[in-house]
Amino acid sequence: MTKNVLTVENLTKIYSNSKTKKENKALSNLNFEVKQGEVFGLLGPNGAGKTTFLSILGGTVIKTAGNINVWGFDLDKNPRQVRASLGIVPQEVNLDAFFSPQQLLELQAGLYGITKKDRITDLILKMVALEDKANAYSRSLSGGMKRRLLIAKAMVHQPPILILDEPTAGVDVELRNNLWENVKELNKEGVTIILTTHYLLEAQEMCDRIAILDKGNLVALDTTERLLERIQTKKIKFKVKDFDLNTELSMKGIEFGIISKNIIGASYKKNSLNFTEIINYLNKNNIKIEDISTDDGDLEDVFVQLTKH
Ligand code: ADP
């Protein structure tokens, strides 16, 4: 059995404003766990409570109720061990421009009280593909390199769990791919990854399991595959030759949409029909199919379905 490296039990956070006496429930009785070795995605629209959750883990926000256990340590009883088990990569790039990656990592190791002989600075630089830049000024690094250096900084104390908070916000596609390759590499080495992201396609590609938060509530928690299975509708587009727009198409269980004399759309409930039945029906009506494209939907559809108000 895979062990749980993070367990969240009945976690609630209420922000109260002492002046207005107003209360805001940012997290409402959350329960979930993260398993060792997985890439776990925490998704949700703005205001869902993602930052609040990460801040509780990071120790900058105090929870109202509930329990959190990280790597076998209880957050209330052993906050230092909890912190030592986590590497948190912040959203904002906050690097001192005048230090080199090597110096930054050495400084960070010093902050964690890691003795010189136990430091693995070179190895970490290699893991994030920055060994060539070890002695360059941080300010001379590209955006993607800076992001990777942030990951390196969070890995200095060799935490078993790495948390990435919107790691690719504002990062272009190529750098994003490069960053993910590095994260996947770390994951292969055994590091459990927890990430928040707005890029649903990215979550779909990267995560083994995904939790979707909405207004402080957990509205879904499942493997990425099973979340995608929740999309019930399959859409098809047929490219056809000179369709007579006066023809009426009607078939049980399927909805046709005539888009133009060359394009016919169709949608039906997955597994309710056999694809060949539709083709046969179109053939019977003398419709000449030239091309077909299908759309199974993606995480965006699940997300919208679950978080629409
Ligand atoms: P997300 O990161 O998913 O966008 P947040 O954790 O930032 O969500 O916010 C969750 C809710 O908590 C929101 O309603 C937000 O307004 C509220 N909130 C966040 N921080 C504070 C704070 N310091 N004081 C009061 N309310 C807050």
Torsion sign (Cα): 48, 53, 54, 59: positive
Q: pLDDT digits over 16-74, tens only?
A: 988 888 999 999 999 999 999 999 999 988 899 999 999 999 999 999 999 999 999 99
Residue nearest to atom 22 of ligand 1 (CA): 15
Q: Which of 111, 109, 129, 113 is nearest to 121 (CA)?
A: 109
The verdict on domain 1-85+159-229 having CATH code 3.40.50.300 is yes
Does any ligand 1 atom lie closer than 6 A to the CB of residue 101? no
Question: What predicted TM-score, i.e. pTM, was given to this entire model?
Answer: 0.81
First to last CA, the chain: 38
Look up residue 99 and give its DSSP letter. Answer: S
Domain residue ranges of the chain, discontinuous segments joined by +: 1-85+159-229, 93-157, 232-297
What DSSP element (H or E) covers 57? helix 50-58
Cα–Cα–Cα angle for 97, 99, 105, rounded to 5 degrees: 120
Residue nearest to atom 19 of ligand 1 (CA): 52
pLDDT at residue 297 tops 90: no
The verdict on domain 232-297 having CATH code 3.30.70 is yes
Question: Please, which pLDDT band fits residue 213 given cuts at 50, 70 and 90?
Answer: very high
CA atoms in the 13 A half-sphere facing the CB of 211: 22
Answer whether 186's CB lies under 8 Å from 38's CB.
no
Does any ligand 1 atom lie closer than 6 A to the CB of residue 98? no
